[in-house]
Amino acid sequence: MSAPTTARGIAAEVRSGARRAVDVVEEHLVRIEAHEGDVHAFNLVLADAARAQAAAIDEAVAAGRPPGPLAGVPVALKDNLCTRGIPTTCSSRILEGWKPPYDATVVQRLAAAGAVFVGKTNLDEFAMGSSTENSAFGPTANPHDLSRVPGGSSGGSAAAVAAGFAPLALGSDTGGSIRQPAALCGVVGAKPTYGLVSRYGLVAFASSLDQIGPFALDVADAALLLDVLAGPDRRDSTCLAETAPSASARLGEGVDGLRIGVVRELADAEGLSAEVRGRLTEAADALSAAGAKVAEVSIPAAVYGLSAYYLIAPAEASSNLARYDGVRYGLRAGRAAGTGDDPADVSAMYTQTRSAGFGAEVKRRIMLGTYALSAGYYDAYYGKAQQVRTLMVRDFEAAYRDFDVLLAPTAPGTAFELGAKTADPLTMYLNDVCTIPSNLVGHPAMSVPFGGGSDGLPLGVQVLAPALGEAVMFQVAAALEACAPPVPVSPMRGGSR
């Protein structure tokens, strides 16, 4: 029997001195060394820094100092989280050479909790995408099948956990960027309530939607990680002042008597595979058998989610990404950068820098967002989308008067082939149809692996909860995990297909 691979198990052994953190990190680095060439989960592997961090944990343990709840646990960080002195690229050429002078709040909290950072993971450029194919540094492969995508935009983080490169990873979720790759990679991924986790140091995509959240191999690990991340931060004005109950508070309590609603509009969403629908029904039946009261519920405004999202997110992005102009940091177009002639004036510098530095999808969204905010169009587009958001909050709040949590698919199907959807952005956008509503309303939601498809690839089911309902969400997720059909394990973690 090999050593525990969950974060809980590792931390317990490191704390007790049964296992050294330096050995834990070495085991993971060996696995990274063996398979990273195939998977490309990382933009940067922090081998030496990780070894040093692990050694410091071991010293703390030896000296009798409390090493923290994540003592010696390897964690992978999405490469849109600022790390002091370490390149933070957002998988974009435009941030070439930039090293943040500060750590994101979540990075500080993880370090204080004893975590060991093994690397910065690949993503769709600026977190815009659903397959991690929009990376300036090449795509990440799905560890379950290297010809498939890992989902996105946090595909590198999901793949890192699925491949056993780290038991925990951080992602960011603006429209499903944690939950969809979690489903496609067979791991747990959660987007917390908006404001539960500080965004300070998360490079912004769409500020009113972005949230940082955990990836883990199981529900209890994800809860453990979220509890370390959550809490007020005076550097983020949108971070909630109140502290939510621990995500781990009700794990193992079962679902007896809980009221669970299956969201009709999401269960019937456009483009869902029959297998996904089947697994959702199975999940509902299993929870019902475990004692929950399960019924269908309608969220009428949910059908407008995708449209509203593709106005609000690009609008905010068009403004958030304006700062990448070549003036202060990152790429500046010109002969020195190898992007053609030196610009003639400041306007040319802006144009040449942004043309060379941004990929096609980022440019598409900047243009969409710029248009949506333009004089004369604001009310029809951005204003209308915000109204949809208000309606959607109303619908969800109404549903939560009758239900404790809601159930929905996570992604429309299992992982698709690399390149299958790159030619058609709209098909790609449909990947997020079931995850977007939670971002628009700011409520928590998570994906739990629930068996596999006929292709042997993992599938996920989504649990949605009201604002600050993390405890009950994880409670139901744990129950779902307990009654799930066997979940495929990637070959790198010892599984077989």
Partner 1 sequence: MTTGEARTDWETVIGLEVHCELRTQTKLFCACRNSFGEEPNTNICPVCLGLPGSLPVLNRTAVEYAMRIGTALHCRIQASQFHRKNYFYPDMPKDYQISQYDVPINADGWLDLPSGQRVGIVRAHLEEDTGKTTHMGGGGRIHDAAHSLVDYNRSGVPLVEIVSAPDMRSAEEARAYVDELRAILVATGASDGKMEEGSLRVDANVSVRRRGETAFGTRCEIKNMNSLRSLGRAIDYEAARQIALIEAGGAVTQETRHWDENAGRTGSMRSKEEAYDYRYFPEPDLVPVDPSPEWIAAVAAELPRLPAERRAALAAASGLPGDSEAVATVVRLGLDDLVEAAAASTATASVAVRRVANEVASDPEAAARLDRVAFARLVAMEAGGELTSAQARTVLKAIMDEGGDPAAVAAQLGFEAMDSGDLDRVVDEVIAGSPDEWARFCAGEEKLQGLFIGAIKKATEGKADLKAASTLLRARRGG
Q: Which residues bind partner 1 (CB under 8 A)?
A: 80-82, 88, 90, 95, 98, 100-102, 104, 199-204, 206-208, 234-238, 315-316, 318-319, 322-323, 325, 327-329, 345-346, 350, 370, 373-375, 378, 382
CB of 81 to partner 1, least distance (A): 8
Nearer to partner 1, 210 or 361 (CB): 210
CB of 186 to partner 1, least distance (A): 30
3-state SS of the chain? Answer: CCCCCCHHHHHHHHHHCCCCHHHHHHHHHHHHHHHHHHHCCEEEECHHHHHHHHHHHHHHHHHCCCCCCCCCCEEEEECCECECCECCCCCCHHHCCCCCCCCCHHHHHHHHCCCEEEEEECCCHHHCCCCCCCCCCCCCCECCECCECCCCCCHHHHHHHHCCCCCEEEEEECCCCCHHHHHHHCCEEEECCCCCCCCCCECCCCCCCCEEEEEECCHHHHHHHHHHHCCCCCCCCCCCCCCCCCCCCCCCCCCCCCEEEEEHHHHCCCCCCHHHHHHHHHHHHHHHHCCCEEEEECCHHHHHHHHHHHHHHHHHHHHHCCCCCCCCCCCCCCHHHCCCCCCCCHHHHHHHHHHHHCCHHHHHHHHHHHHHCCCCCCHHHHHHHHHHHHHHHHHHHHHHHHCCEEEEECCCCCCCECCCCCCCHHHHHHHHCCCHHHHHHCCCEEEEEEEECCCCCEEEEEEECCCCCHHHHHHHHHHHHHCCCCCCCCHHHCCCC
CB of 316 to partner 1, least distance (A): 6
Nearer to partner 1, 263 or 349 (CB): 349
Nearer to partner 1, 358 or 382 (CB): 382
CB of 440 to partner 1, least distance (A): 13
| CA 417 – CA 147 distance, rounded (Å) | 6
- Alpha-carbon distance values, 284 to 121, 186, 470 (Å): 34, 19, 19
Nearer to partner 1, 117 or 474 (CB): 117
Nearer to partner 1, 39 or 204 (CB): 204
CB of 27 to partner 1, least distance (A): 31
CB of 207 to partner 1, least distance (A): 4
Nearer to partner 1, 1 or 344 (CB): 344
Nearer to partner 1, 40 or 332 (CB): 332
CB of 113 to partner 1, least distance (A): 20
Catalytic positions:
78, 153, 177
